[in-house]
Amino acid sequence: MESVSISQGAVHAFGVAFPPLFHSLLYWGFASLVVHVCQRLVEHTAFSLDPSSRRISASNASLCIGCIVWALDVVGLFMYGELFHVALELVPALGSLLVMVFSARVTIPTLSTSTSVRNLLPAGWLLALGMMAGHFLLARSYVAHFSEVNALAIALSVATAAGVACYTAIRHRAGKMSALTQRYAPQNWRDNLISGGAILVLHWLLVNCFPLQKPTTSNPDNGMALLAAIMLVWLMVAVVLSVVIRNLGLQPSAWFFLSTEYAMFYLTLLGAPWLVRQKGHVHIELLTSLLPLPALNILSRGVSLLCVVVCAVLAWKGLDLVMLNIERSDYDVRAFFVPKWLLTIVFPISFTLMAIEFARFVVGHELLHSGEAGIKE
């Protein structure tokens, strides 16, 4: 069994440089906003009165917090030039998401209702370790091997993650107690900015915990585009088969029509994230071609940030629609009894991935717009 070696020297150990100033500021703001949203979700759980509604609120808050923190972690990977060649793998990414959601579900009841520091601190530590475990599972996509450990980065990461979790938990407690006595100060944006800055440093430390893979010349994973292409092929095959069967005097199965309708819907939404990565969506370069590079940099990243916000809202509303379909047991009964959530589940998946791909152009080194009118990206 290969022995674990400890990196020698901080300069040698931290192989990934700290993100550029502009990328760091954007990520700091995004992380602060995520902290604010997570606090509001925890407060919503705390306001639940009866145990059954509290369990439902805790489950919903855990799902939302796990997904938001996972998206924050994934977006952060695009800040580093050393990781620009990395294509995330599906299984580690989904495993990371499940670990983060589970960690939030285990700790949210304590963090939302307890006023005892003895209970809050262990819950904060557990939440921090769970989120770090989710990151290390995601790190399988870009880590060369886990046998060489940067002990300094690991120790600082654990301390920072636990500090952020415990600090936000104690400030949440103080916010609740401020309604009863003036001894405690309510939560404010200063707390969010402190936590957001610590998360920025934490992400950089986590990326430096293990050695990175060397750049390869292989093409990035285009799994979503492949699924869309398969559905496009099936769409053509199904139409041809339906025509042939009718010409033979037979009645084609209603499943042909249903599958073609679903395929048209799925191939559009599954292919959209891949198109964002390839900069294949239609956009006009007439204005950007006239701008100097600094102005183009600001405008392009601003447009990409707006796209992230729109996609995030659509993903949120799509998730609400899926949960509503499941709760009401809605079915599509035109040909067969098909649960509607099988159709609407693609909304949150597609728009979440699109938001992540657009975020690459917000905090990454590459711009969405080239500034070269008439030239194909």
Query: What is the per-residue pLDDT across 8-45, written as a single tens digit (0 to 9) for each?
Result: 444 445 778 888 888 888 889 888 888 888 887 777 77
Do 267 and 203 lie in one domain? The reply is no
Whether the per-residue pLDDT at 343 is higher than 50: the answer is yes
Identify the DSSP state of 143: B
**Domain coverage including residue 39:** 12-207
* 3-state DSSP of 224-287: HHHHHHHHHHHHHHHHHHHHHHHHCCCCCCHHHHHHHHHHHHHHHHHHHHHHHHCCCCCCCCCC
Looking at residues 318-341, what average pLDDT do you find? 79
Do 265 and 341 lie in one domain? The reply is yes
Identify the DSSP state of 184: S
Phi, psi of 338 (to 5 degrees): -110, 125
Element (H, E) at 5: strand 5-6
Phi, psi of 6 (to 5 degrees): -100, 130
Q: pLDDT tens digits for 191-207? A: 888 888 999 999 999 88
How far apart are the C-alpha atoms of 347 and 273, rounded to whole Å? 12
The last residue of a domain, from among 182, 207, 232: 207
Looking at residues 213-218, what average pLDDT do you find? 58
Do 299 and 182 lie in one domain? The reply is no
Whether 88 is in a domain gets the answer yes
Total domains in the fold of the chain: 2
Q: Which residues contact 77 (CB under 8 A, 6 or more apart)?
A: 83, 86, 88, 142, 207
Whether 212 is in a domain gets the answer no
Give the helix, strand, coil percentages of the chain, each rounded to 5: 70, 5, 25
What integer pLDDT is reported at residue 29 of this predicted model?
Answer: 87
Q: At what angle do helices 51-76 and 90-113 cross, to 10 degrees?
A: 140
The last residue of a domain, from among 183, 207, 231: 207
What integer pLDDT is reported at residue 65 of this predicted model?
Answer: 82
The last residue of a domain, from among 175, 207, 239: 207
Q: pLDDT tens digits for 93-141? A: 878 888 888 888 888 777 777 767 777 778 888 888 888 888 888 888 7
* Identity of residue 12: H
Do 111 and 256 lie in one domain? The reply is no
Do 157 and 257 lie in one domain? The reply is no
What integer pLDDT is reported at residue 214 of this predicted model?
Answer: 67
Q: Which residues contact 335 (CB under 8 A, 6 or more apart)?
A: 254, 255, 257, 258
Do 164 and 190 lie in one domain? The reply is yes
pTM of the predicted protein model: 0.62
Q: Which two tokens stand for residue 85?
A: 């060649």
Do 190 and 242 lie in one domain? The reply is no
Q: How far apart are the first and last CA of the chain?
A: 48
Q: pLDDT tens digits for 59-71? A: 777 777 888 888 8
How far apart are the C-alpha atoms of 94 and 310, rounded to whole Å? 23
